[in-house]
Structure 1
Amino acid sequence: MVLRQSIGLEGQSARLRHISGLRTYVRKHRESPHSQRQAHGPAEWGTACKGFMAPWREQGVARCRPSFACRVSRQTGLQNLDDSITSKPVEEGSSDAAWDSAQLVKFLHVASPYVMRHRGRIFVIVVPGEVAYEPRQLQPLLEDLLLLHGLGIRLVIVVGGKPWIDDHLRAAGREPRFEGAYRVTDAAAMAGALHASAVTYTTIAGHMSRAPFVPMVRRHAALAPHGGPAVQVVNGNFTVARRRGIVDGVDFGLMGQVRYVKRDAVEVQLAAGAIVVLTNIGVTSSGELLNCNVYDVATHAAVELGADKLLCLTGQDVADLGLPAYLPLDDAEALIARGAGEGGAGAGRGVDGAFTFGSGEEVEGQGGWGRAAGGGDRGGQGGHEDGRPPPRPPVAPADTELQLDLDSWQQIGFPREVVAAAVACRNGVRRAHLVDAATDGAMLIELYTRDGTRGVTMIATDLYEGIRPAAWRDVDGITRLLTHLEEVEGYPLSGWLHEVSQRLRSITVLEREGKVLACACVADLGASQDGARLMELAALVVHPAYRCNGLGDSLLDYVEQDARRAGYGRCLLVQVGRGGYDWFMERGYEPAGLAKTSPLLPRVCANSLPPFAALYSKEFVELDEAADVPAGQRIGF
């Protein structure tokens, strides 16, 4: 990771401290009138952000630096932020002062592309009841969510209530009752569900209503004329549900299954700058209140709102799986299918039942929150009788309600967070993240650094689908693409067009349904004067009819990953044709002057180039061992 390498072993804690300290300034600058934002423009904004590190410079000669008791202050909800900051004099030019300033500026530069990318996007955050029930986990999480909101992300928080319902029943001398994955919700259980909904919403709304800490913001932002909630937090009858009814002779009472989430109503609140909180309560068309499951609500919300991300806080059961940092959707579904084949799906429903996705209350011992993960009998056999693999999860048609059924998830014995993430991605959500709830700040580091952090798994539609080394059957398709690039678009290819069959080992293609849609051609240039092994990206072309949908990004990313694992340290582009190379510059390639005189290019290669040829260069960043995986098994460098 870039930051980890540049700032040493304290890198991750430093990033967390910097992110946390910036929250107040981000919020105040976003709330400032347009004229004040102009006064604190981009250049001064960095200085404003650094203000949290030295808010007492007005005191005169001595320069002070705050020491953030990060974990303590976050766990107490930053209720006494002034007590969590202690100022100690630091002499001008001291190493401590220089370290803090330099690392904050570095972090802002690294995080800025992600800030711009995430701004205005809808993120659905799943907060299970076990996290909401524990203040030491909930309060720092809410601080992180406030920061995300301050950075322009439109948040929908889906919070569970299982512990409160269980407590309510036990206080009345009753034990929770489940049939399969669903809670039998009688009047007493429903009273507990309503109590859970009220407690979770009011707790979140109250925590997010605290105004910014005045001494930290008065230097850089105008103060409001009177106090008021810092953020608008809304809840309402956004979740439409229906009764589960009587199944196999069991009356589930007021247990609900989500039909849909009111997209238009939620989007109105998000557009107004509010944070939307969805709880375990759904409503019917007749006005009846029902108890619903957090994953049922969250999956519908993410799919129907067209969310950019679904983020699920997870427990020990997911951590025990040892999932990689990036899990392509197809691999996630295969993992779930193996779980179905090993056991739970054989409980009288068959494998097809294992992929009828849906909702239900979590059963005691099944959640993995400090308890052993449960599961069905592990003796069954998966797949069809003829040996074919189990089917992939179905995609709901656009004109129908998304039908979910979590009974089968429990029978598989697989963590439902993983299954919910896979269902959401299969139904249109671009990416889902499984975030370890026990890792403080993991969500922020995952979203605003290149490589994220340990304890987080991202599930996404397979961005590298169809990318592979070229084969003999691809020659005609590659030739057509290169012919268009050279003869129509005017990019000379230095002999590649007539040597495709001889250079297949140096070509990577992107194929869909038997058609080559894109290709990349590379060449080994030997070593540069500084010893780095060089690769030339001689050509990268996407079929004109399939451009502007990310195929070029996926192919370039794949080729660069493959080159790095092969030992290359730098990739070069030589421009001899018309047009600019802005597309490559946006992806990390930097102008390196004229190719013929550049020290980056070996002389034997430079001598054959025309004098006007321009050179572009990109360094391949070293990764830690955990990120060193085959091409296509992670996203980006």
Structure 2
Amino acid sequence: MNKVLDEHFVPWFRAVAPYIHAYHGQTFVVGIVGELIAAGRLTAFVQDLAILHAMGIKIVLVHGFRPQVNEQLAAKGHPAVFSQGRRVTDPIALDCAQEAAGQLRFEIEAAFSQGLPNTPMANSTVRIISGNFVTARPYGIIDGVNFMHSGAVRKVDSASIRAIIDGGAMVLLSPFGFSPTGEAFNLVMEELATQVAIGLKADKLLFMTEIDGIHESPLDPDSPIDTELTVADAERLLARLPRPEQPTDLSFYLTHCVQACRAGVERSHILPFAFDGALLKEVFTHDGIGTMIVDEKLESLREASSDDVGGILKIIEPLEQRGALVKRDRADIERDIALYTVIEHDGIIFGCAALYPYPEARTGEMAALTVADHVQGQGDGERILRRIEQRARAQGLESIFVLTTQTMHWFIKRGFQLVDPEWLPEARKRKYNRERRSQVLVKRLGSPGEAWR
């Protein structure tokens, strides 16, 4: 194996392992727009789905077909008509939709059957099952527009879908539903995927879309992507945005994501299909790539408990090996666990620090400040520092200090000042290891920039 690749493989695999464990046995509903298939990205995407399936994730795939239906209509010289963001499906459009759905279903099933060597599909067997799992009703006449064969979801046969995915197969749904009298209705893929996720009480609803996600400044496409939105924040944003008229409108996918979360789906995601591997990056990395909507923020900064000892040991071990931290064994951390602050995301600890108070000197030592390698540079170290400062003030301390051998400049940039080790409280001075020659830096918890004398 290439040496550089080898050096990165183990840390990478350790970083994703908690997610693999957490998602095993969970249910994901994945909605893909027809544009993904039209762009020639189906094969790579199916391989990513096969990886999730191999890891024990239960998957329902719902495909769209807007561009394919439009292409069929254009070939027949028939206009594509939309109103309020929904296709008006006359008899000709219905024929085109049925033809497009049949072709796409064939392509998707063929992609899952490739089993090509040297790909994620090698030696894999992914069974795809489709069926009449959706009952629909006519959308009707809205604001004077007769939507004809366009429909809305009336009922999803969640029990049958659940039995299939629990049995190890994957379910594939086209955006069609049928009435009790056998009429076919063209459905909006996003609405269907949302209702399926709600009916299954899915753990995730993921949309592979034409857009990158929701930007921090929604009307500025150059602003960063907001990787996590609470449902409440999403609803406030929707209240400011116009009613969606087409899928590329910001509020289109956001509306469905909020609906799913409000109905019990734990998390919903808006991902760009144009980014190769977007599905894997979103599922198996800390910040993902698109926007995730959750009922509550997954990131938590809190005081540690005894359940966190293992997680703390795991993230400080690499720094101990590099000599950046003094070695601490499990007994030490278990004894001092109440002194620790941790930051976690989705139940996984990726940062910590401890505050050892010296009340007689009205100061405290911040020790073991650590942020996992794969999430550094995102401001988590500063968030932990601010929480330690808050804890110190609450205990009536006037300053905090650190001992460091490798990160002096990081602390100086955040208001610490270098002092002689003789400054240390007597109790800490007796434990100072002069062979390590750790630098001592102090930060007064009063006004910024106040100098030490």
Alpha carbons of structure 1 residues 444 and 492: separation in structure 2 relative to 1, 3 Å: closer
CA contact under 8 A between 2:301 and 2:341: conserved in structure 1? no
Between the aligned partners of 2:69 and 2:115, the Cα distance in structure 1 is: 32
1:264 to 150, 159, 164: 159
**Counterpart residue identity of residue 293, structure 1:** V
Q: Does 1:125 align with 2:27?
A: no
**Aligned residue for 2:80?**
176
Alpha carbons of structure 1 residues 607 and 305: separation in structure 2 relative to 1, 3 Å: farther
Q: Does 1:433 align with 2:433?
A: no
Between the aligned partners of 1:177 and 1:190, the Cα distance in structure 2 is: 12
**Counterpart residue identity of residue 130, structure 1:** E
Between the aligned partners of 1:147 and 1:605, the Cα distance in structure 2 is: 52
Using the TM superposition, give the Cα deviation of residue 566 of structure 1 relative to its aligned residue in structure 2, in angstroms: 5.6
**Aligned residue for 2:3?**
98
Between the aligned partners of 1:367 and 1:250, the Cα distance in structure 2 is: 20
1:298 to 172, 176, 193: 193
**Aligned residue for 2:148?**
253
Task: Output one character per residue of 1:317-373: Cα deviation in whole Å (capped at 9) or x when no partner.
Answer: 74663431121221111111121xxxx36xxxxxxxxxxxxxxxx96xx333xxxx5
Percent of residue pairs identical: 30
Normalising by the residue count of structure 1, what TM-score does the alignment of the two structures yield? 0.47
CA contact under 8 A between 2:261 and 2:295: conserved in structure 1? yes
Q: How does 1:331-410 map onto structure 2 within 5 Å?
A: 331-339=233-241, 344=242, 366-368=246-248, 373=249
CA contact under 8 A between 1:111 and 1:448: conserved in structure 2? yes
Using the TM superposition, give the Cα deviation of residue 132 of structure 1 relative to its aligned residue in structure 2, in angstroms: 2.2
Between the aligned partners of 1:217 and 1:281, the Cα distance in structure 2 is: 28
**Counterpart residue identity of residue 462, structure 1:** E
Alpha carbons of structure 1 residues 602 and 429: separation in structure 2 relative to 1, 3 Å: farther
Alpha carbons of structure 1 residues 268 and 562: separation in structure 2 relative to 1, 3 Å: same
Q: Does 1:278 align with 2:173?
A: yes
Using the TM superposition, give the Cα deviation of residue 536 of structure 1 relative to its aligned residue in structure 2, in angstroms: 9.5
1:461 to 295, 299, 308: 295
RMSD: 4.0
Alpha carbons of structure 1 residues 334 and 98: separation in structure 2 relative to 1, 3 Å: same
CA contact under 8 A between 2:213 and 2:271: conserved in structure 1? no
Alpha carbons of structure 1 residues 567 and 465: separation in structure 2 relative to 1, 3 Å: closer
CA contact under 8 A between 2:35 and 2:67: conserved in structure 1? yes
**Counterpart residue identity of residue 10, structure 2:** V
Between the aligned partners of 2:268 and 2:147, the Cα distance in structure 1 is: 31
**Aligned residue for 2:101?**
197
CA contact under 8 A between 1:256 and 1:290: conserved in structure 2? yes
CA contact under 8 A between 2:47 and 2:121: conserved in structure 1? no
Task: Output one character per residue of 1:161-192: Cα deviation in whole Å (capped at 9) or x when no partner.
Answer: 11121112121111111232222211101011
SS of corresponding position for 1:415: helix
**Aligned residue for 2:20?**
115
Q: Which has the higher strand share?
A: 2
Alpha carbons of structure 1 residues 449 and 174: separation in structure 2 relative to 1, 3 Å: same
Between the aligned partners of 1:448 and 1:523, the Cα distance in structure 2 is: 32
Q: Does 1:156 align with 2:60?
A: yes
CA contact under 8 A between 2:134 and 2:157: conserved in structure 1? yes
Q: Does 1:166 align with 2:70?
A: yes
Alpha carbons of structure 1 residues 259 and 113: separation in structure 2 relative to 1, 3 Å: same
Using the TM superposition, give the Cα deviation of residue 194 of structure 1 relative to its aligned residue in structure 2, in angstroms: 0.7
Using the TM superposition, give the Cα deviation of residue 101 of structure 1 relative to its aligned residue in structure 2, in angstroms: 2.7
**Aligned residue for 1:604?**
427
Structure 2: stretches of 5+ with no match in the other structure: 219-223, 304-333, 343-353, 359-363, 370-379, 393-423, 432-453
Task: Output one character per residue of 1:272-303: Cα deviation in whole Å (capped at 9) or x when no partner.
Answer: 21111111111112221110001110110111
CA contact under 8 A between 2:149 and 2:185: conserved in structure 1? yes
CA contact under 8 A between 1:525 and 1:602: conserved in structure 2? no
Normalising by the residue count of structure 2, what TM-score does the alignment of the two structures yield? 0.65
Between the aligned partners of 2:102 and 2:382, the Cα distance in structure 1 is: 49
Between the aligned partners of 2:140 and 2:381, the Cα distance in structure 1 is: 54
Between the aligned partners of 1:280 and 1:123, the Cα distance in structure 2 is: 17
Using the TM superposition, give the Cα deviation of residue 230 of structure 1 relative to its aligned residue in structure 2, in angstroms: 2.3
CA contact under 8 A between 1:299 and 1:424: conserved in structure 2? yes
Using the TM superposition, give the Cα deviation of residue 139 of structure 1 relative to its aligned residue in structure 2, in angstroms: 2.0
